[in-house]
Amino acid sequence: MPIDERISVDFDHHSLEWLARRHEHNAELRATCPVVWNPRYGGFWFVTGYEEVATVARDSVTFTPRYPVKRIEGDDLNYIGIMGVPRPKGMPQIGIAEAEPNRHAALRRLLNPFMLPPAVAAFRPFVEQTATWFLDQKIAEGAMDLVLDFTNPVPAILTMKMIGLPCTSWQHYAEFFHATVAYGTTSPEYQHAMSIMPDIVGELIDVAEHRRKKPEDDILSKLVTLEVDGERLDNDELIAVLWNLIGGGVDTTTSLTSLALHHLEAHPDLRQRLIEHPELLVPACEEYLRWTSVNETLTVTCTKDTVLGGQRITRGDVVMMSWLGANFDPAVFDQPEELLIDRNPNPHLAFGVGAYRCPGLHVARALFMVMMQEVLSRMGDYVVDQENTRFYQGNPELFGMVRMPVRFTPGQPVGVARPF
């Protein structure tokens, strides 16, 4: 096939039909061509092949995530950032992923001491106590909502603690950020979240001002004193970074763990195997990361003419990477549709690659392990109320669960002290 023969496929990745069959659609597009042009929404490239997605992700110079608040002199590119096509109206800059290269590097260095394995090991007892406490609140009842009562609050509280926000405000922030990703942009839930966004921003600025006067050992205290090229972050840049950290912290691990628990309920033999052999949770974590692919897509801007997957990409073109498509590429993963808890090797791209690699990957793994062990060891016979279970709708960037009511054999509380 000649390079200049553009492969064009018209599809609406925001439609409920497309989202309901996103695995099939990704497979069909990948079989047609791993890089296709979609004329919808002003036109963009959709990349589904593992090799092609990895190529884009590793080259953040050619495929930039920038979404500058301040126009760069002499640069006429209209950067789209990472937040999809079209970018949701009113969505602020996503501070770490969309930061300029020097700011991106500085922010990564700032976050590393909080997110590398030694730090994760230090806060793991807090996570374990938090998970045990939340399950204690429901264990005697024999019924709970696994999302609302467990997989939602545990990551949210850790996020609050690490950033330096009041742990008691976890529900306030979690509900807001979940509403921005769990529902379509025309839904009442999303519209309400957007209406209170100025209040959320104001609260974050107030806490930041307090940290400037009284710094503590948390991420926010480091952010308000960070200098890049001799300048500190202004409020817009600070909010952009916090948006990235809070949104990622309160949502993605919740989705990963919820979807894994939902899958295990439908596969009792697999669930029993993990109960009897908890050490298998280590490879199972990697397989659920691949199989759920809760971060489904990421959007970037091409900065120079190039060729990708046999297609000629032009400077200024928008390129959407499908992590989901890459993680199910049969050229890399044998039986990709099957969940194999001991899959090895498992080079999934669930955390991204290169500049797009999630800085909180070690945190996510630790949270998943603790929450899964807590549920499987204390209420391993849970039964999901499928009729009242709800998944995200209308979001082509993220996938997860809104609620998941369950019943199980009642147990006794452990009796740990409230950790927050």
Which residues form the domain of 378?
A: 16-407
Of 39, 26, 1, 13, the closest CA to residue 309 belongs to 1
> What's the rounded mean pLDDT across residues 192-211?
93
Q: Packing angle between helix 268-276 and helix 361-378, nearest 10 degrees?
A: 100
- Does residue 372 carry a pLDDT above 70? yes
| Residue 420 included in any domain | no
| Residue 290 included in any domain | yes
Q: Does residue 363 or residue 68 have the better pLDDT? A: 363
* Strand 401-403 with 318-322, pairing: unpaired
Structure tokens at 326: 């890459």
Model's pTM, two decimal places?
A: 0.95
DSSP tag of 8? B
Q: Percent of the chain beyond pLDDT 90?
A: 83
Average pLDDT over the chain, rounded to whole? 93
**pLDDT the model gives residue 72:** 47
Tally of CB atoms within 10 A around 140: 10
- Does residue 70 carry a pLDDT above 60? no
At residue 80 the predicted structure's pLDDT band, cuts being 50, 70 and 90, is confident
* Strand 143-145 with 405-407, pairing: antiparallel
Amino acid at 2: P
**pLDDT the model gives residue 78:** 76
**pLDDT the model gives residue 4:** 58
Tally of CB atoms within 10 A around 111: 20
Question: pLDDT tens across 26-41, in order?
Answer: 999 999 999 999 999 9
Tell me how far apart the alpha carbons of residues 291 and 279 are, in angstroms, rounded to a whole number.
19
**pLDDT the model gives residue 267:** 98
Cα distances (Å, whole numbers) of residue 225 to 6, 116, 160, 202, 314:
49, 21, 19, 19, 40
**pLDDT the model gives residue 93:** 76
| Residue 100 included in any domain | yes
Question: pLDDT tens across 205-242, in order?
Answer: 999 999 999 999 999 999 999 999 899 999 988 998 99
**pLDDT the model gives residue 3:** 61
Amino acid at 160: M
> What's the rounded mean pLDDT across residues 102-127?
95
Question: pLDDT tens across 280-293, in order?
Answer: 999 999 999 999 99
| Residue 114 included in any domain | yes
How many separate domains does the chain show?
1
**pLDDT the model gives residue 185:** 80
SS3 394: coil
| CATH number for 326 | 1.10.630.10
**pLDDT the model gives residue 74:** 53
- Where are the alpha helices (H) located in 188-341, listed in sequence order? 188-213, 219-225, 235-265, 268-276, 281-292, 323-327
| Residue 418 included in any domain | no
